[in-house]
């Protein structure tokens, strides 16, 4: 939690956050959604990708997802394709690990 009169972030559980903001039900709903998103992300990262000519491919929710490894100035990085659209950057940095590329796809979907 963040408060305008307090310079640091407050780290509390969902019940305490609900008490502090005056809406316990909204805090519980946010906590439930965050847990569900974490479970979905974990399941997505465990999916089996198929390799063809060095390109990893996955059909997911009627979309074609691809991950391709490339290099720039001798440093490897990954490019992500979602239905043909290419993404190379996440948070203004190249994706240097396969896990980062998969997380990028999950966030974009």
pLDDT tens digits, one per residue of 48-107: 999 988 899 999 989 999 999 988 888 899 999 999 889 988 888 888 999 999 999 999
- CA 102 – CA 67 distance, rounded (Å): 8
Q: What is the pLDDT of residue 58?
A: 92
Closest by CA to 102, choosing from 72, 71, 67, is 67
Where are the chain's structural domains?
1-46, 50-108
Residue range 5-10: average pLDDT? 79
Angstrom distances, CA of residue 23 to CA of 14, 17, 19, 36, 38: 10, 8, 7, 20, 23
Entry pTM? 0.75
Angstrom distances, CA of residue 87 to CA of 10, 21, 32, 80: 34, 38, 30, 5
Backbone angles phi, psi at 36, to 5 degrees: -65, -40
């Amino acid at each position: 939690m963040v408060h305008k009169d307090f310079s640091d972030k407050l780290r509390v559980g969902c019940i305490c956050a609900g008490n502090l903001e005056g809406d316990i039900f909204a805090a519980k709903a946010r906590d439930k959604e965050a847990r569900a998103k974490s479970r979905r992300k974990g399941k997505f990262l465990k999916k089996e990708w198929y390799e063809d000519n060095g390109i990893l491919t996955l059909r997911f929710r009627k979309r074609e997802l691809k991950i391709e490894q490339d290099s720039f100035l001798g440093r490897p990085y990954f490019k992500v394709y979602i239905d043909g659209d290419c993404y190379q950057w996440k948070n203004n940095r190249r994706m240097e690990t396969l896990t980062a590329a998969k997380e990028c796809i999950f966030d974009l979907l």
